[in-house]
Chain A
Amino acid sequence: MSAEPILRLRGVGRRFGGLHAVRAVDLDVAPGERRAILGPNGAGKTTLFNVIAGDLPPSSGHVELFGGDVTLLPARRRATLGLARTYQQSRLFLGLSVEDNIYLAIRGVSGGRLRPVILPGDRELRRRARQAAGRAAIDGKLPELVGSLSHGEHRQVALAMALATEPTVLMLDEPASGLSRGERQLLTELLLALDPAITLLLIEHDMDIALAVAERVTMMHDGRVIVEGTPAEIRANELVHELYLGSRYTDE
């Protein structure tokens, strides 16, 4: 962690009324790092994602991205800086085709968002959209309306949209949830093959995927960061077993 962090959180907190979803979180993520954020349901992982992406303002603390303070910057500006994310519920455009969904993702970071005319240059963006669909293995469904696809296919479209923008920082919120075993295998391979320049933040309940992909793991509980370390350290940590792995396996 010698390089200047690409993402730095200092004392970040977020309250919903009396509920402290996130409390005083400090986080440093280096450029190109693969970071998994783990923790039981309600630990504050998604809220932390929302604060980093700018969907929610923090109640306290600062968010720095790409070396600048972005605490007050709206989500759309963070996106054009090179931050892409997916959501737990895929949040896709159900009335549009797969290709149009991915095209909109690329258009969002390419300018010309308000242009009311079609230009020849739009074809290049559509070509990139189809290419991104190929990387997420959803290119067989390009003309289909997203509203008619299955849950697993929604996940693939969401991933294609995130990859299509060629982000510097990619945040994936439970990309494997609801996927079959085979689809999880494909997802793991795809994440391992990701461009090493991309910084990846991953919330994932599937420990096999999270620990296979991540270089460092941040463990959250009750809105706080309780442990941070390598996958091996996390596996060996007793507190982690008690709070997360243990309860998870006894539940099943």
Chain B
Amino acid sequence: MSGARSAKTLVERAIGLAVLVVAAIGPVLFSDYWVNTILTQTFLLGIAAASLIFLSAYGGMVSLAQTALYGIAGFAVGNMVTQGETKGLNLGWDPTLSLVLAIALTTALGLLFGLVASRSAGIYFLMITLTFAVIGNYFFGQVTLVSGFSGISGIDRYTPGFVGDVVAHPNRLYYVALIVALAVYGLIRYVRRAPFGLALQGVRDEPVRMSSLGYNVALHRTLAFGFGAFIASLAGVLYVWWNGQVDPQTIGLQATIDLLVVAVIGGLGRIEGAWLGAFAFILINNYVRGVELPVVGGSFNTIIGLIFLAVVVLSPGGLMGLWERVAQGRLGGRGGGSPRVAADPAGPAPGIGSR
């Protein structure tokens, strides 16, 4: 049994290493379009999805606020770095300082959101975080001082030195996004095994038991939400450098649902699913747009909706769940495990409504 488990781990490590090597020499292997549009976007969208999957897989909290938090970081950077040619505050601050301040601000707001949301669970938690998403969208749409309907543009002209001119040297942003994505992945895997992360998984499984063991469950959830906001803020900053502009549509209801779709397609139970889901979503977004299906037509939303439906019905653990099943069949599974746990060693994948 332990042999089977290590065979699966070996295969996973080999795949991981191959992906890493391909990503490291990506600009040599792929066209500019692939590097700049598909892959860079996959890295940053994956980071945003990772913040959602972290909360879901280890905290049992499915959050719809991650897009809003990501947007807050983006708007914050936009307001701080621009110098008078766009909407917003046009503060003209140093890009590196702005980057740090935007992350700090988003994390602080995440802690505040978490304080409000952490006492509820399941569908109520989902609804409260949806409220945060809607508030974020309207706030930036209505408050013309910091954005207004048309948003902030030209942000990519004010990037820190290590990113440089993203139009002339897009490969640098590619590598920055790759390194941040790897750091986020490593950080989440590490925190999961540290006392905070283990206790968070305890809170996910049995909050009442955790409080009778001496843990402050609400505080734990709040801090986890703050950590999720921190990760989302990294994606938000990368996004505005990559896209050059941010507007209320960036964090609208459509974008909020898109991020949830990315996370569910990838798999809410394992952190790797974030980038897998992002890659699948972006590929579909780029290559299925021209396809015309009989009856339903060629709407992107229809097609992604059908794929979403297929994933939810056929593999509730998403693409990562599918891999777990394949690995179990080919490499031998854990004997005697309950199906719920055996299908998902990183922890049970809670359904959207189940927690």
A residues sitting closer than 8 Å to B (CB atoms) are: 53-55, 74-80, 85, 87, 91-96, 100, 103-105, 107-109, 112-118, 122, 145, 147-148, 161, 165
* Cα(A234)–Cα(B348), bound, Å: 47
B2 to chain A, nearest CB (A): 8
Total B residues in contact with A, Cβ cutoff 8 Å:
38
Binding site for A on B (CB under 8 A): 190-191, 193-199, 201-202, 204-206, 208-217, 219-220, 223, 227, 334, 336-338, 340-342, 345, 347-348
Tell which of B190, B201, B209, B215 touches A113, judged by Cβ atoms closer than 8 Å: B215
Q: Given A76-B216, A95-B201, A115-B194, check contact A147 B340 (CB 8 Å).
A: yes
The residue among A53, A74, A115, A147 with the most chain B CB atoms within 10 A of its own CB is A147
- Which A residues touch B215, using CB under 8 A? 76, 108, 113
* 3 interchain residue pairs of minimum CB distance: A108-B214, A108-B213, A147-B341
Closest to A125 in B: B195
Q: Tell me, rounded to whole Å, the shortest Cβ–Cβ distance linking A185 to chain B.
A: 25
- Contact sample, A vs B, 18 pairs, CB 8 Å cutoff: A75-B211, A75-B212, A76-B211, A76-B213, A85-B212, A91-B208, A92-B205, A92-B206, A93-B205, A95-B347, A96-B198, A103-B198, A104-B213, A107-B195, A112-B195, A116-B194, A122-B195, A148-B337
Q: Across the interface, do A79 and B219 meet the contact criterion of CB distance under 8 Å?
A: no
A148 touches B334 (CB 8 A): yes
Contact indicator A116/B336 (Cβ below 8 Å): no
B81 to chain A, nearest CB (A): 30
Q: Are the CB atoms of A107 and B199 closer together than 8 Å?
A: yes
> With a CB–CB cut-off of 8 A, which chain B residues contact A116?
191, 194-197, 227
Interchain CB contact under 8 A, A113 and B214: yes
Q: Are B341 and A76 in contact (CB under 8 A)?
A: no
Q: Are the CB atoms of B193 and A87 closer together than 8 Å? A: no
- Contact present for B213 and A115 (CB under 8 Å): no
- What's the least CB distance linking B4 to chain A, in Å? 14
